[in-house]
Chain A
Amino acid sequence: MTDATVNADATAFAGTGEAIIKVENMDKFFGDFQALKNINMNVGHKEVVVVIGPSGSGKSTLIRCINRLEQHDAGRIVVDGIELSDDIRNIQEIRKETGMVFQSFNLFPHLSIIDNITLAPRQVRRMPKAEAEELAMELLTRVKIPEQAQKFPGQLSGGQQQRVAIARALAMRPKVILFDEPTSALDPEMIKEVLDTMKDLANEGMTMICVTHEMGFAREVADRVVFMADGEVVEVGTPDHFFDNPQEARTRLFLSQIL
């Protein structure tokens, strides 16, 4: 097998029209260490991209650059036509359009579930309280825990907390949601409920980038799978291609280790 047959181009996206996320020639350094090397990647409307790769390969760093939790050092990132630059206004605009779900939930422990969800819509979108609460209840119903609205994060199970975190991200009505290993901190019996919520979202047409080790999820939901190693995009393909017929040696090694 030659390198020529490996598809490492993450710029071709499913669907038509403009890509909603464009990453061009992006580098990211931590001190002298280069965590991301010349990343090129596009994500189309309503596309679900799953990013996989060994630990330390730069998956988190990649999606954290997209909403400026990390600052990229070279190249361009454009989200929904807005270029991510040092302009605070652009950063805020992009953050309004991109929700994020963290591995460790990061709910606000001092606020009730409903306040967790309504905080950003009320403060950032200036939504009236009544409207925000109505929206929050709607979202809680969607993630199937409306009865928990008045509780506090510490009183919920991990799976419930992560579903609240998803509702919180949705409350800003983002165009994209970034997931960074949303099920890695969960007990096995709770993983399913979170994955089901994510599947529902995907089926409803939400644009998503998911870093995850859940291969079943990737296979079922992903439009494209991106495999990263050592800060580079190594191989890109549909789930079928990816799991049945991986080309690159590193991909196969990785898949053999986790499957």
Chain B
Amino acid sequence: MRLAIYFVVAAVALFGWRFLRDVTTKRDTSNRPPPWRDVRVLAVGIQVVAVGILFLLGSWLWDNFNTRTDDIGLDPFDFAFLDQPSGISIADSDLNPNSPISSALRNGVKNTFLTIVVGIPLSVLFGTLIGISRLSENWLLSKIATGYVEFFRNIPPLLIIVFTWSVFLTGFPPERESWEIGDLFIFNNKRFAGPSIASQENFVAYRWLMLAALALAAVVWVVRTRLFDRTGTPHRRVLWSLGTFVGIGVIGYVALGQPFRFSTPDIVERVYEGGVKMQMPYAAGVFALTLYTASHIAEIVRGSILSVDRGQVEAGNALALSGFQRYRFVVLPQAFRVAFPPLINQFLNFTKNTSLFVAIGFAEITSISINLFGQSRPAPQILFIVMGIYLTFSLVLSTIGNLINGRLAIAGR
């Protein structure tokens, strides 16, 4: 271990020295300042020192950790435990206490993912509506939006989540007395269920067909747009594309002999059959976190619209653009560029805040890992994995965000 540290320090020193030498030989050296005042030397020097300190600190911690685990006789730091039975069961999944820990973790990742893919788009949609409402000239609407933002922005998200959950718990009836809307929806304080599509024969073929239909609809869209650009014939591209897609869907449905049917939910002897269902804590958690995140997004949206120069609106008006056209082509594209980086931040916050669902018993990745600690599973390794998972989610989100942001950049600005 000590050897490793010396090796790293030596490598850093060597690298730093070579860098310094390059820096100093590139230019005429006749009037260089002394090294301790040379900005280029200082810039490199600070980085070398920082990296060195980081390495020393890291290896000291690692050494410490190993010594302590040896002392108290813990298992060595490896990941063999992942194959052992988890000892926990997860609602609405095939997992039982005998399933391996790795499956339990995977299930947690899936559940976290499900909260993000539903919650983030909802937050954006709702937040945008609130943000625009706050700018509205309608006094009542703008005051309601302001009240909403000020309320939710200033309460800890954990509180909102637990409160929403308790409202759902007491507000919805117990399973036996479920509310049903027609045969389509079922609500109770354990689960919500709704209709879904159930596959029948030829469903796989039908799925491919619909994928092709989607591609064809896109082509139709482009063709209609081009035609409009060339000749000015009204494009009606929404109608055309939708017509293509739906038309193929209907023909395919008949030709393939009803490849799917609609499935409605039902509770038979406390078991849910058909349809799709979600657990109440999932619904409550996503709902609460959406309310919270939307209040932040609303402020971002409002600020970004206000940041667009008044002259832009005036130029749009002077060119006789309609109110909608002004928003669509002038204000929103510029506001969106301002809003985008902080929006990404909110997406990351949403992702991290889903860990608070541990408080309402939804089996996302954090609550699963905490459950595993209760089964005396090795905390350091599991925490490493869970941190790695959040980091991956965040990196994927911010990488996508940065790619889009780069494409949005305004040339010459």
Please report A residues at the B interface, Cβ cutoff 8 Å: 67-69, 92, 95-96, 98-100, 102, 104, 106-110, 119-120, 123-124, 126-131, 151-156, 168-169, 172
Interface-central residue, B231, B320, B337, B412, by most chain A CB under 10 Å: B320
Closest to B226 in A: A129
Chain A nearest Cβ from B223, distance in angstroms: 14
Asked whether, in the complex, the Cβ of A152 is within 8 Å of the Cβ of B411, the reply is yes
Given A95-B318, A100-B318, A120-B320; A131-B232 close (CB under 8 Å): yes
| Contact A124 B319, beta carbon cutoff 8 Å | yes
Q: Does B406 contact A (CB under 8 A)?
A: no
Interface residues of B in 53-81 (CB under 8 A from A): none
Query: Which one of B179-187, B265-273, B328-336 is at the interface?
Result: B328-336
Q: How far apart are B321's CB and chain A's nearest CB, in angstroms?
A: 6
Contacts of B329 in A (CB 8 A): 108, 119, 123
Name the interface residues of B226-280: CB closer than 8 Å to any CB of A: 228-232
Q: Which residue of B lies closest to A131 (CB)?
A: B232
CA distance A124 to B412 in the complex (A): 28
Q: State whether A110 touches B317 (Cβ < 8 A).
A: no
A–B complex contacts, Cβ < 8 Å, 24 sampled: A68-B317, A69-B318, A92-B322, A98-B318, A106-B311, A106-B315, A107-B315, A109-B412, A120-B319, A123-B325, A123-B329, A124-B321, A128-B228, A128-B230, A128-B231, A129-B229, A130-B229, A130-B230, A153-B412, A154-B411, A154-B412, A155-B412, A168-B319, A172-B319
Which B residues are in CB contact (< 8 Å) with A110? Answer: 333-334, 337, 410
Tell yes or no: B27 within 8 A of A by CB: no
Task: Check if B413 sits within 8 Å of A109, measured CB to CB.
Answer: yes
Instruction: Determine how close the nearest CB of chain A comes to the CB of B247; give it in whole angstroms.
Output: 28
Minimum CB–CB distance for B273 against chain A, Å: 53
The 9 closest A-B pairs by CB, nearest first: A154-B412, A129-B229, A128-B232, A155-B412, A95-B320, A106-B315, A120-B319, A100-B318, A152-B411
Chain B: residues with Cβ within 8 Å of the partner, total of 26
Q: How far is the CA of A131 from the CA of B233 in the complex (A)?
A: 13
A229, chain B: closest CB distance, angstroms: 25
- Among candidates A68, A99, A107, A128, residue contacting B229 with C-beta atoms closer than 8 Å: A128
Selected from B232, B319, B412, the residue in CB contact (under 8 A) with A119 is B319
Q: Which residues of the partner chain A approach B413 to less than 8 Å between Cβ atoms?
A: 109, 154
Q: Quick check: is B353 within 8 A (CB to CB) of the other chain?
A: no
Q: How far is the CB of B58 from chain A (nearest CB, A)?
A: 44
- Give the residues in chain B near A68, CB-CB below 8 Å: 317
Knowing A92-B322, A96-B320, A102-B314, say if A109 contacts B410 (CB, 8 Å): yes
When the two chains form the complex, which single residue of A95, A108, A155 contacts B411, counting CB atoms closer than 8 Å? Answer: A155
CB < 8 Å A-B pair total:
87
**B329-349: which have CB < 8 Å to A?**
329-330, 333-334, 337
Report the minimal beta-carbon distance from B322 to chain A, rounded to whole angstroms: 7
Minimum Cβ distance to chain A for residue B307 (Å): 12
**Chain A residues whose C-beta falls within 8 Å of the C-beta of B311 in the assembled complex:** 102, 104, 106
B333: chain A residues at CB < 8 Å are 110
Closest A residue to B326 using CB positions: A123
CB <8 Å contact, A124 and B320: yes
Cβ contacts under 8 Å, B410 to chain A? 109-110, 152, 154
Residues of B within 8 A of A92 (CB): 320, 322
Q: Are B229 and A69 in contact (CB under 8 A)?
A: no
> A92, A96, A106 — which one has the most chain B CB atoms within 10 A of its CB?
A106
Which residues of B are found within 8 Å of A131, using beta-carbon distances?
232
Residues of A within 8 A of B320 (CB): 92, 95-96, 120, 124, 172
Distance, CA A127 to CA B232, complexed state (A) = 7
Q: Are A120's CB and B321's CB within 8 A?
A: yes
Interface 1/0 per residue, B202-243 and A, CB below 8 Å: 000000000000000000000000001111100000000000
Q: Which residue of A lies closest to B310 (CB)?
A: A106
| CB nearest to A107 among chain B residues | B315
Query: In the complex, A19→B228 CA distance in Å?
Result: 38
What residues of B have a CB within 8 angstroms of the CB of A153 in the complex? 412
| Contact call A99/B318, Cβ cutoff below 8 A | yes
CA A109 to CA B411, docked complex, whole Å: 8
Q: How many whole Å from B320's CB to the nearest CB in chain A?
A: 4
Give Cα distance in the complex from A108 to B329, angstroms.
9
Closest to A109 in B: B410
